[in-house]
Amino acid sequence: MTARVGVVTFPGSLDDSDAARAVRIVGARPVSLWHDHADLHGVDAVILPGGFSYGDYLRCGAIARFAPVMTELVPAAESGALPVLGICNGFQILCESHLLPGALTRNRSLHFVNREQRLRVESASTAWTGEYAPGQEIVAVLKSGEGNYVAAPETLEELEREGRVVARYVGGSPNGSQRDIAGVSNEHGNVVGLMPHPEHAVDELTGPSTDGVGFFTSVLAHLGAPVPTPSG
């Protein structure tokens, strides 16, 4: 079967076409989902892409969580059935929706930061990271103004204890994130939020590496769909 991966477009989504490209690159079919339709069209997994949904004018992700498309998505994600990856603004939306704990606040520098970023994949037991080796270091793109991950001390302890810190920044946090956290998962491991952009690290021509491909092949493996063999 060819896996069908939904990519949601909110007003102000920007990296939706990039997420769709990454899905195509691993041989799956991207399905465009519109924010205003309370219908997931039976997709096998969903990506909430980067961008500035609704201009991020209230608080990043705060308005998007109320979009009609979220009404079907939230229960399916909570049940552990539907794999969901939130990238950047998508991560913020997952936190605002309480699908993931914690919050993303302004970068410590108070500036937007755009750079190649080295990460360590801490957990390979989520739906989106199974193809990585635990502890593997990868290079992806970080580009965000509000990527500073914060959570209550007991929440951080719980995340660490349960192995739900999915990725950490290597070489210090570029945005002030607690414990250098770059991504976390829910308790089922089907919902992952990630501040850096793996979909911008899928092609040597336009990205700093191809290390990001693993997120997309991982979900295919998780779904039991055919996974392309690495072509180098």
Binding site for other proteins (CB under 8 A): 11-12, 14-15, 17-18, 21, 50-52, 54-57, 108-109, 111-115, 141, 143, 145, 172-176, 197, 199-200, 203, 205-207
**Least distance to other proteins, CB of residue 214, Å:** 18
Q: Which of 88, 122, 146, 222 is catalytic?
A: 88
**What is the rounded distance in angstroms from the CA atom of residue 122 to the CA atom of residue 142?**
17
Q: Would residue 19 be called left, alpha or beta, if left means φ above 0 and alpha means ψ between -120 and 50 degrees?
A: alpha
Active site includes 122?
no
Angle between helix 213-223 and helix 16-25 axes, rounded to 10 deg:
60
Catalytic status, residue 197: yes
Which candidate in 131, 199, 200, 222 is catalytic? 199
Nearer to other proteins, 16 or 131 (CB): 16
Instruction: CB nearer to other proteins: give 80 or 208.
Output: 208
Give the single-character DSSP code of 85: E
What minimum distance in Å lies between the beta carbon of 89 and other proteins?
A: 11
- Host H or E run for residue 157: helix 153-161
**CA 165 to centroid of chain Cα atoms:** 13
Active site residue 111: no
Report the distance separating Cα 217 and Cα 138, nearest Å: 15
Catalytic center residues: 88, 197, 199
